[in-house]
Structure 1
Amino acid sequence: MNITTTNTAATDTATADASYRLEGTMLELCSCAVSCPCFIGEDPDRGECFGVITFHLEKGEARGVDVSGLNLINVAHIPGNALAGGWRSVLLVDSRADDAQAEALLDAFGGKLGGPLADLASLVGEVVAVERVPITHEASEASGRLEAEGMVEAEFAPIQSSPDGSTATLYGSAFTTVKGAPAYLGKSVRYRVTLPQHGMAWSFDGHNAIQTPWMMEHRP
């Protein structure tokens, strides 16, 4: 008789090591005119995009590590349709993260833990560098400012197209991760990226800014 035993504790640990639940907002600023064509699956203006995609984690954990309150920025040159991939990216990790938190974030957003974040990571063709940097994220409904010290600087304001002055919104977009949640439409007042050491330096004022609630979860 063959008897198979299962090490439940080891299985639970392996599952926890590959799991995550992250909630917050995604903020994108880029070189496209308002509003972002990528959000509806269309090609970027000029045939390419120079953008920053910021994930502000209001609460969350990855591999059992609490990463609540932290930020991660993907500074990306996107050579064509965003969903076609081939992004060239520099990842900026919030300097408030300790080593365990930074490693957990990079494992999750780098696709090592699988799930929907692995699909997102597959769009990146090359991670040029990872930098730890102080990040200021003061943004709500496409209004506010973003700064990664010495690397990214942006201010943005909402597009108020309705008679009551509320922010214009987009629903059911290609990058919506929270069912029924709006993407708030805005435009940059100031938008700068200064990473010449990685071949990334650009300036676009008066272009796209868009912010949406964001959530991704994976438990194998």
Structure 2
Amino acid sequence: MSWHVEGTYFENCNCDMVCPCSTSGLTAPADNDRCNVALAFHVDTGEVNGVDVGGLTVCVVADTPALMSDGGWKLGVLMDAAASPEQAEALGAVFGGQLGGPMEGLTPLIGEMAGMESLEIAYTEDGRSHQVRVGSAVDLAVEDFVSPMDATGLGVKVSGVGFPADTLAAGTASTARVDVFGMTWDNAGKNSFSAPFAWSA
């Protein structure tokens, strides 16, 4: 069966700005001894094996070595409590990599699946600002960066990245608290990326 999901995403990690992990295809180390990252995906429209998954949000949190390609990731998935059991199963298979697509390529790097929890998720976007709250587990607010030397005001973009989209807007987090699956951090002031995404398999 084929599937597709598309919408918007943003992430925050503990790199200082313009994370070298993403921009190097996981071949350059992070700025710190560990990479602590949370990615929020809001699906505007999508269908997975005949199940409509539009309007739902999924958040992925991970703790990895500085060189992410070394593997041994600890990863957990937070599912939108608004999802029905069928929708949660469908999205879990997409974001867990079981149905192919972009997440499948990351599965060999995962050393520990920390689990999947269903929580209330509030996801908002307002131009360059992006925010998600996932119960008491995740509270992220980021803003895309616009250089004071950029007369266009379009913001800093990094292209040719590939995952989770080809072109990402670079930014910083004003709020970045995670406390779930035994992973706890506060990455306020650190790197963020955002972009529209469209996946299928």
Given the two structures, how large is their TM-score scaled by the length of structure 2? 0.89
Which of 154, 160, 180 is matched with 1:172 structurally?
Answer: 160
Question: In the alignment, which of 28, 31, 39 is matched to residue 22 of structure 2?
Answer: 39
The answer to which of 204-213 and 167-176 deviates more is 167-176
Listed one character per residue, the Cα deviations across residues 45-86 of structure 1 (whole Å, up to 9, x for unaligned) are 113211101121111111211101111111110113234432
- Does 2:200 correspond to 1:217? yes
- Whole-angstrom CA distance in 2 between matches of 1:200 and 1:36: 20
1:140 deviates by: 5.3
Aligned counterparts of 2:59 and 2:146: Cα–Cα separation in 1 = 26
Higher mean C-alpha displacement, 78-87 vs 57-66: 78-87
What corresponds to 1:11 in structure 2? Answer: none
Tell me what 1:6 maps to: none
What SS does structure 2 have at the residue aligned with 1:39?
helix
* Greater than 6 Å deviation, 4+ residue runs: none
Report whether the alignment pairs 1:87 with 2:73.
yes
Letter in 2 for 1:63: N
Closer, same or farther in 2 for the Cα pair 1:112/1:175, shift >3 Å? closer
Structure 2 unaligned spans of 5+: none
1:1-220 to 2 correspondences below 5 Å: 16=1, 19-41=2-24, 42-139=28-125, 142-161=128-147, 162-175=150-163, 177-178=165-166, 182-195=167-180, 198-218=181-201
Separation in 1, partners of 2:187, 2:124: 20
Structure 1 residue identity aligned to 2:17: V
Deviation at 1:123, TM superposition (A): 3.0
Does the aligned pair in 1 maintain the 2:12–2:187 contact within 8 Å? Answer: no
Conservation of the 8 A alpha-carbon contact between 2:10 and 2:130: no
Higher helix share: 1
Q: Give the Cα–Cα distance (whole angstroms) in 2 for the partners of residues 191 and 77 of structure 1.
A: 14
Shift of 1:163: 2.0
Determine helix, strand or coil for the equivalent of 1:216. strand
The amino acid across from 1:187 in the alignment is T
The structure where strand makes up a greater share of residues is 2
% of aligned pairs identical?
33
5+ residue gaps, structure 1, are 1-15
Query: Do the aligned partners of 1:192 and 1:203 also contact (CA within 8 Å) in 2?
Result: yes
Contact 1:142 1:209 survives alignment (8 Å): no
Q: What is the CA-CA distance between 1:142 and the residue it aligns to?
A: 4.7
State how far apart, in whole Å, the 2-side matches of 1:102 and 1:214 are.
19
Give the Cα separation in 2 of the matches to 1:209 and 1:20.
28
User: Considering only aligned residues, what root-mean-square deviation do their CA atoms show, in Å?
Assistant: 1.8
1:174 Cα offset (Å): 4.2
| Amino acid in structure 2 at the alignment position of 1:167 | G
TM-score (norm 1): 0.82
- Structure with max Cα Rg: 1
Tell me how far 1:214 sits from its aligned partner: 1.4
CA deviations 1:99-120 (Å, max 9, x no partner) are 0000011122222223443213
**Count of aligned pairs:** 196
